[in-house]
A and B are shown apart, each in its own frame.
Chain A
């Protein structure tokens, strides 16, 4: 045991050389603060001890070892939100033993929580963060149960302790759960109401109970506080969801929301934010006949807080492209960036940690080669929790192994 500890310590010590809390100066950036300060031209940002220390013009260089990056006017944004993903809980989705996203127990288990399954050593963590993503909402698979269970915000710096905020509960009322509710969405509301009532009044007989004791405890906790994400697309179902959440005192977030634009006023009035995929424009099923490309723009214009969530895990980096397309279809550019930064941070209560560039806050920021929403741009410098992220992943290493032409030895000897 002792030997193991020494060994582990040795590994961690060598790893920490690459990713420590650095002193970093970014000179002359266009800083998208996503705070009340707006966009600051030709501005320096100084990072030390994990935090943004100063933001200003021509900042003096502190003594000691400071990494300096000359931005030359390029955009600097907060680290981006990767959406609701299974990063770290699904290495290869088709490989069952590498995937921990859902319990598929059919019965209602709101107490299921994917957090203990999270593996910061997943190859997806570097793949995603070097594209400028500093946080994601880890979410359970909602296909196998009406209650998908709980997830939580996680920082993508690859630390073992990297969870942020509080648990988030996921409930799926979409048509894919019809078979779990006797073939009817009306029965789904019936079951959900019964579950909520059980949270307050435990059933006399366990045979007729929907929930375990732990499940009742979870629901009670969410009535007291905590975000509850409902997967729902159809306009009438969104309204029903708002009524349900109001009745039981749940702090509601809509995910999906293909037809949310049709009830934008009601969403705005109820102050319900929406996680959406702005590319959804096909009638994928009878719940999303109204899917359209300017959903994001119409919601934002109506005063609904939106955040981008593609639903993709391995390709979560596509989030930027989604925001770009939303902008192309009418969302103001600044709101496109907000939907990837401050909005998701605010929605899930982690805005003190993520989503903006502000002095005395943890430094999560990205310097871009160009417009961060443009498909030909890329992240050049990524800082997560004050640490300079090495721009390496399993994919960059495969790239660098196969880029050289006609190597003398097999490529297994090229170890970038």
Chain B
């Protein structure tokens, strides 16, 4: 029904993305929760822009950061004395499977990877997100305010990812980050060739991986051309102009080629990343971020030159062949060149709860290797660089006037195993408070469990 209406409207909507999709299908219904103006005082603030401010203040009002450091304070604002405590931007995980591989991890919750074809750009992770995943509450207690939920890596092209605000809602639309572009999950290497090779199907080799992606991009180019031709015909007022058949698969790929969808590419080996970068040149698109990149340290300069982020682990390695060369200095070395974009990601329901500790380990390893990394610098790995990777850096990821008031108040230096998020604000609303059970969300699944045995 909607499709027909849309076609009728098409002549008037020539600015639409290729394929006639609306600017935003399955639109975000997220609205900031109610908040009161809050002044945090006497804090050590890591802004996410490379600065550290001591004994500083932060004013949140109307869901936004009003000022950082010093500024005019209106009368009657709620004040939080943060003496001895630290404040950072809300943490951002660019690689999560919360909601699509929800807890409990039963087969019925295994919704993260449509491994029935090696290329499924037509699937959207958001259509699998179970908003009652208890993992969201754990991540929130770890200071995570924004996360990208991605499909798994069994396919060469796994489908669209979605960026969420970490607030409980009855629908994922109620969590969907307003204005965030879609991501496209792609995968290099062992996973796709194993999954499909075992079925005696292409791809079973790395060269098969490449041939398969390239065939997809060729189709996507043609799809763009077909729609362009149709639009030309409309402009020329040709009566027999017929729109190409809408194709969800190609619509996603065309979105990448047009720069509207950001590529998030699971890739471990340095040589494979280099090949992928050549493919991006061949088809004139951009790889936004390499994920996992266990060998990214081998090509740190190239990544920085090309403006590609590396979303990496602090110390995971060795579980498969392409992860064998992992080193603990990976993040710090990727971070070294000018213009680098190093990110600490989790890919894990436990890791997402401790992005600060993961960043601390990477910082410590870098410092021991002589790379001199400060907390005010390293915090970007889990805030502003991550926001850039997701294309939401104009909204969040740093504490600057006018940005979303996504803020974590820590009980101490967050680069410590003993640090805990005491309060978490999303768009200025206090959504987590360690001292106040009323501000600790519990998913429907966990409500009322374990009441049988009377204590």
Does B104 contact A93, Cβ atoms closer than 8 Å?
no
Does A124 contact B360, Cβ atoms closer than 8 Å?
no
B297 contacts chain A at the CB level, 8 A cutoff: yes
Tell me the chain B residues, 242-256 only, with Cβ under 8 Å from chain A. none
B190 contacts chain A at the CB level, 8 A cutoff: yes
Q: Given the complex of chains A and B, what is the CA–CA distance between A373 and B361 in angstroms?
A: 12
Does A378 contact B324, Cβ atoms closer than 8 Å?
no
Q: Given the complex of chains A and B, what is the CA–CA distance between A396 and B446 in angstroms?
A: 44
List A contacts of B105 (CB < 8 A): 284-285
List A contacts of B190 (CB < 8 A): 94
List B contacts of A190 (CB < 8 A): none
List B contacts of A403 (CB < 8 A): 329, 333, 369-370
List A contacts of B454 (CB < 8 A): none
List A contacts of B316 (CB < 8 A): 314-315
Q: Given the complex of chains A and B, what is the CA–CA distance between A168 and B370 in angstroms?
A: 43
Q: How far is the CB of B76 from chain A (nearest CB, A)?
A: 36
Q: How far is the CB of A228 from chain B (nearest CB, A)?
A: 26
Does A94 contact B320, Cβ atoms closer than 8 Å?
yes
Q: Is the interface of A mostly helix, strand, loop or mixed?
A: loop
A186 contacts chain B at the CB level, 8 A cutoff: no
Please name the residue on chain A nearest to B358 by beta carbon: A375
B328, B354, B418: the one within 8 Å of A327 (CB): B418
B350, B360, B417: the one within 8 Å of A373 (CB): B417
Does A282 contact B361, Cβ atoms closer than 8 Å?
no
Does B317 contact A314, Cβ atoms closer than 8 Å?
yes
Tell me the chain A residues, 55-87 only, with Cβ under 8 Å from chain B. none
Q: Given the complex of chains A and B, what is the CA–CA distance between A375 and B415 in angstroms?
A: 8
Which of B329, B363, B445 neighbours the largest number of chain A CB atoms within 10 Å of its CB? B329
B104, B319, B349, B361: the one within 8 Å of A285 (CB): B104
List A contacts of B134 (CB < 8 A): 282-283
Does A93 contact B103, Cβ atoms closer than 8 Å?
no
Does B450 contact A376, Cβ atoms closer than 8 Å?
no
List B contacts of A324 (CB < 8 A): 417-418
Q: How far is the CB of B53 from chain A (nearest CB, A)?
A: 21
Please name the residue on chain B nearest to A95 by beta carbon: B321
A235, A279, A285, A317: the one within 8 Å of B106 (CB): A285
Known A-B contacts A328-B418, A374-B416, A403-B333; A283 and B103 likewise in contact (beta carbons under 8 Å): yes
Does B326 contact A395, Cβ atoms closer than 8 Å?
yes
B357 contacts chain A at the CB level, 8 A cutoff: yes
Does A93 contact B450, Cβ atoms closer than 8 Å?
no
Please name the residue on chain B nearest to A94 by beta carbon: B320
Does A92 contact B363, Cβ atoms closer than 8 Å?
no
Does A395 contact B328, Cβ atoms closer than 8 Å?
yes
A212 contacts chain B at the CB level, 8 A cutoff: no
Q: How far is the CB of A100 from chain B (nearest CB, A)?
A: 15
Does B321 contact A376, Cβ atoms closer than 8 Å?
no
Tell me the chain A residues, 360-416 only, with Cβ under 8 Å from chain B. 373-378, 395-396, 398-399, 402-403, 411
List A contacts of B367 (CB < 8 A): 376
A318 contacts chain B at the CB level, 8 A cutoff: yes
- Chain A interface: which size bin? 35 or more
A321 contacts chain B at the CB level, 8 A cutoff: yes
Please name the residue on chain A nearest to B105 by beta carbon: A284
A281 contacts chain B at the CB level, 8 A cutoff: yes
A309 contacts chain B at the CB level, 8 A cutoff: no
List B contacts of A250 (CB < 8 A): none
Does B320 contact A321, Cβ atoms closer than 8 Å?
no
Which of A95, A318, A375, A396 neighbours the largest number of chain B CB atoms within 10 Å of its CB? A375
B315, B327, B329, B418: the one within 8 Å of A317 (CB): B315
A298 contacts chain B at the CB level, 8 A cutoff: no
Does A93 contact B369, Cβ atoms closer than 8 Å?
no
A92, A279, A378: the one within 8 Å of B368 (CB): A378
Does A376 contact B320, Cβ atoms closer than 8 Å?
no
Does A93 contact B298, Cβ atoms closer than 8 Å?
no
Known A-B contacts A282-B103, A285-B106, A290-B450; A375 and B135 likewise in contact (beta carbons under 8 Å): no
List B contacts of A317 (CB < 8 A): 315
A101 contacts chain B at the CB level, 8 A cutoff: no
List A contacts of B360 (CB < 8 A): 375-376
Does B320 contact A93, Cβ atoms closer than 8 Å?
yes
List B contacts of A328 (CB < 8 A): 417-420
Tell me the chain A residues, 297-332 only, with Cβ under 8 Å from chain B. 314-315, 317-318, 321, 324-325, 327-328
B325 contacts chain A at the CB level, 8 A cutoff: yes
List B contacts of A279 (CB < 8 A): 350, 353-354
Tell me the chain B residues, 21-77 only, with Cβ under 8 Å from chain A. none
A210 contacts chain B at the CB level, 8 A cutoff: no
Does B445 contact A283, Cβ atoms closer than 8 Å?
yes
Does A325 contact B320, Cβ atoms closer than 8 Å?
no
Q: How far is the CB of A183 from chain B (nearest CB, A)?
A: 14
Tell me the chain A residues, 174-191 only, with Cβ under 8 Å from chain B. none
List B contacts of A124 (CB < 8 A): 318
Q: Given the complex of chains A and B, what is the CA–CA distance between A331 and B353 in angstroms?
A: 19
Known A-B contacts A328-B418, A375-B416, A399-B329; A318 and B368 likewise in contact (beta carbons under 8 Å): no
A19 contacts chain B at the CB level, 8 A cutoff: no
Please name the residue on chain A nearest to B364 by beta carbon: A376
Known A-B contacts A286-B104, A317-B315, A403-B369; A377 and B327 likewise in contact (beta carbons under 8 Å): no
Tell me the chain B residues, 391-422 only, with Cβ under 8 Å from chain A. 415-420
B436 contacts chain A at the CB level, 8 A cutoff: no
Tell me the chain B residues, 299-338 only, with Cβ under 8 Å from chain A. 315-321, 324-329, 333
List B contacts of A350 (CB < 8 A): none
Q: Given the complex of chains A and B, what is the CA–CA distance between A398 and B35 in angstroms?
A: 50
Does A325 contact B417, Cβ atoms closer than 8 Å?
yes
B138 contacts chain A at the CB level, 8 A cutoff: yes
Q: How far is the CB of A392 from chain B (nearest CB, A)?
A: 13
B138, B364, B415: the one within 8 Å of A282 (CB): B138
Which of B317, B360, B368, B418 neighbours the largest number of chain A CB atoms within 10 Å of its CB? B418
Known A-B contacts A285-B104, A321-B417, A376-B363; A92 and B138 likewise in contact (beta carbons under 8 Å): no
B449 contacts chain A at the CB level, 8 A cutoff: yes
A143 contacts chain B at the CB level, 8 A cutoff: no
List B contacts of A91 (CB < 8 A): 318
Contact indicator per residue, chain A 268-290, by CB within 8 Å of chain B (1) or not (0): 00000000000111111110011
Q: Given the complex of chains A and B, what is the CA–CA distance between A314 and B327 in angstroms?
A: 12
Please name the residue on chain B nearest to A325 by beta carbon: B417
Q: How far is the CB of A94 from chain B (nearest CB, A)?
A: 4
Tell me the chain B residues, 103-117 only, with Cβ under 8 Å from chain A. 103-106
Contact indicator per residue, chain A 202-214, by CB within 8 Å of chain B (1) or not (0): 0000000000000
List B contacts of A290 (CB < 8 A): 450
List A contacts of B327 (CB < 8 A): 395-396, 398-399, 402
Contact indicator per residue, chain B 339-366, by CB within 8 Å of chain A (1) or not (0): 0000000000110011001001101100
Does B449 contact A289, Cβ atoms closer than 8 Å?
yes
A281, A289, A378, A411: the one within 8 Å of B364 (CB): A378
Does B138 contact A94, Cβ atoms closer than 8 Å?
no
Does B324 contact A92, Cβ atoms closer than 8 Å?
yes
Please name the residue on chain A nearest to B320 by beta carbon: A94
Q: Given the complex of chains A and B, what is the CA–CA distance between A328 and B357 in angstroms?
A: 12
Contact indicator per residue, chain B 425-455, by CB within 8 Å of chain A (1) or not (0): 0000000000000000000011001100100
Pairs A-B, 8 closest by C-beta atoms: A324-B417, A94-B320, A314-B318, A376-B364, A375-B360, A282-B103, A375-B417, A395-B327
30 residue pairs of the A-B complex, CB under 8 angstroms, read A92-B320, A93-B319, A94-B319, A94-B320, A95-B320, A95-B321, A280-B350, A282-B103, A282-B134, A282-B349, A283-B445, A283-B449, A284-B103, A286-B106, A289-B446, A289-B449, A314-B316, A314-B318, A315-B315, A315-B316, A315-B318, A321-B357, A324-B418, A325-B354, A325-B357, A325-B417, A373-B417, A375-B415, A395-B328, A398-B327
